[in-house]
Amino acid sequence: MKIPKTFQLAGITWTVEEVDGMTEQGLCESEIAKIKLRKGLPAQVKEATFCHELEHAILFSMGRTDHDEREVDAHGNLLHQFLNSQK
């Protein structure tokens, strides 16, 4: 799975950046339309983390600010599995 450098949601261009020194695996900053991923994560973990943070970005783009982490995890994991199991 290729993680994009940029993508668009609802007319807003989001950027994806790998960052040194993060304690979290990933972070979605809706105020600046940026997803940050901890640099050095194993590929599969980085992909799953991106899908999780993408789900947050989608919810923010829909105007939802209260995110249920269990739901975000479930959607992110299903998206990750779908993207990696296509034939």
Q: Is 18 part of a structural domain of the chain?
A: yes
Query: For the chain, first and last CA: distance in Å?
Result: 12
Task: Give residue 69's domain range.
Answer: 6-85
Is residue 87 scored above 90 in pLDDT?
A: no
Structural domain count of the chain: 1
Q: Which helix (H) or strand (E) holds 18?
A: strand 12-19
Q: Is 48 part of a structural domain of the chain?
A: yes
Q: Is 1 part of a structural domain of the chain?
A: no
Q: What is the pTM of this model?
A: 0.95
DSSP character string of 71-86: HHHHHHHHHHHHHHH-
Q: What are phi and psi of 69, to 5 degrees?
A: -60, -35
* pLDDT, tens digit (0-9, with 9 covering 90-100), for 22-35: 999 999 999 999 99
Q: Is 17 part of a structural domain of the chain?
A: yes
